[in-house]
Amino acid sequence: MSKPDWVVIAQRELVERVRTPWFVVVTLLGPLFMIGMIVVPALLASESGKERERMVVVDLGAPTSTLGQTIVDQAPKDWTVELAKPGTSVDELLHRIKTDEIDGFLTLPADLEQVGGKAAPIYQGDNATNQGIVIRLNQLVIQAVLFERFGKDPQAMLKLAVPMIDARHTTGETAGQSGTAIFIAGYAVMIILYMSIVLYAVNVMRSVVQEKTNRIVEIMAAAAKPRALMFGKILGVGAVGLIQIAVWAAMALFSMHYRGDILGAFGVKAAGWTMPPLGPGQLAVIVGYFLLGYFFYASLYAAIGAMVSSEQEAQQAQTPVLLLLIVPMVCMQLVANDPRGGSAQLLTMLPFSAPILMPMRFLLDGASYTEVGISMLILALSTWLVAWVAARIYRVGILLYGKRPSLRELGRWIRHS
């Protein structure tokens, strides 16, 4: 019994891509890149933390104020902090930053020590974008103000010390887990899905354009129906993507689970959180949305490839689809900040953003299995509709060359093909 045309074409697309050296190289570079994403920022952060911060404290309080001197005395040992002389101008301090004599200066308002003071301290420097520095400065100022108000009693200061908040994410069904770990897991899944969908859906378009340019498609169209050509190509490229994403996902889970051990091998201490476990249901949701999202966008890209005659035209024609992919990336923080909110519900029901945002929302416990089922049903119906329209465009456009069709011509292809 002979195989269906679309199966033969899918096998051809799969074998041609898997057997290339670039597939092996990219598949292996993915895990190395993930380890680098963990190790390199941690190493750079640890090295930057060893640099001595040089700053000046400007106390605008009364001549008898000792707040500025208190900050200087309590500054971290790895910092070089000095108290500005009376009458030092802002221009002078800015000039010292410009000539790299100091990194910045902290200005303390006159009413900072008073209860109910409204003016906030201001830090100006070339390292003001370093959130670690800003957080340590803020803690230093708060500690100094309390120190002044409580009469410089060390025992009273010790009683005021409050540990940092341990944020644990929960929706009430189970005990809370590390909010940082769950966010990173959801964010990693979203990035992997986004990259995979974009990479392999675009490959479908490029493959169609290349075959049209080389006139190979004319030979293939004589041996198989255009619809079989399109579905076979989408399935073959999708199988390659599924193999690669499985390798990348496995390595990502391994890297995050053993993050502490990996960083420890490079002499860097990891933050205190562990990778949350992913159950069969969560893995099924991730794989399901990858498949549906891939077929949704691959069908759009296959239609674009059939409409154009060159790579340059394809780059222009794919702009509307790229805009659809940018929307969920821009709105990612809306889902992360409030996974059970109205905006998150809407974005994860729309077919163009659901494949990227719903797995993240589901991992953040923001969506139930019922909502996932409804979202998948909408996405599946939308994918079927897009594939049906794309198949009609593909059937006519694959053998046409020259000018790109207008919207009226596309409508005619869809109605009459």
Please report the domains of the chain, with CATH numbers, ordered by start residue: 52-162 (3.40.190.10), 177-416 (no CATH)
Mean pLDDT over 101-126 rounds to 79
Burial of 236 (C-beta count, 10 Å sphere; 0-12/13-18/19+) = buried
The model's confidence at residue 118, banded by pLDDT at 50, 70 and 90, is: low
Mean pLDDT over 272-287 rounds to 68
The model's confidence at residue 260, banded by pLDDT at 50, 70 and 90, is: low
Q: Is the pLDDT of residue 397 over 60?
A: yes
DSSP letter assigned to residue 227: H
Mean pLDDT of the chain: 75
Give residue 165's pLDDT: 46
The model's confidence at residue 169, banded by pLDDT at 50, 70 and 90, is: very low
Give residue 173's pLDDT: 47
Give residue 349's pLDDT: 93
Mean pLDDT over 297-321 rounds to 80
Measure the N-to-C terminal CA separation of the chain; round to a whole number of Å.
30
Question: Which of 46-50, 256-260, 364-368 holds the top average pLDDT?
Answer: 364-368
Give residue 43's pLDDT: 62
Q: State how far the alpha carbon of 296 is from the alpha carbons of 238, 281, 322, 329, 382, in Å.
A: 11, 22, 13, 17, 7
For the stretch 34-84, pLDDT in tens is 666 666 655 655 555 545 688 898 888 777 778 888 888 888 887 888 998
User: For residues 165 and 187, what is the distance between their CA atoms, to the nearest angstrom?
Assistant: 22
Stretch among 2-6, 36-40, 280-284 having the lowest mean pLDDT: 36-40
- 414 with 394: CB under 8 angstroms? no
Give residue 373's pLDDT: 92
Give residue 132's pLDDT: 75
Reduced to 3 states (helix: H, G, I; strand: E, B; else coil), residue 89 is coil
Amino acid at the residue 163 = P
Q: Is the pLDDT of residue 354 over 80?
A: yes
Stretch among 7-11, 140-144, 353-357 having the lowest mean pLDDT: 7-11
Mean pLDDT over 6-22 rounds to 75
φ/ψ (deg, to 5) at 9: -65, -40
Stretch among 40-44, 50-54, 336-340, 381-385 having the lowest mean pLDDT: 40-44
Give residue 377's pLDDT: 95
Give residue 281's pLDDT: 80
Query: In this prediction, what percent of the chain has a pLDDT beyond 70?
Result: 70
Tokens of 166: 């341990």
Q: Is the pLDDT of residue 357 over 80?
A: yes
- 81 with 71: CB under 8 angstroms? yes
The model's confidence at residue 178, banded by pLDDT at 50, 70 and 90, is: very low
- pTM to 2 decimal places: 0.62
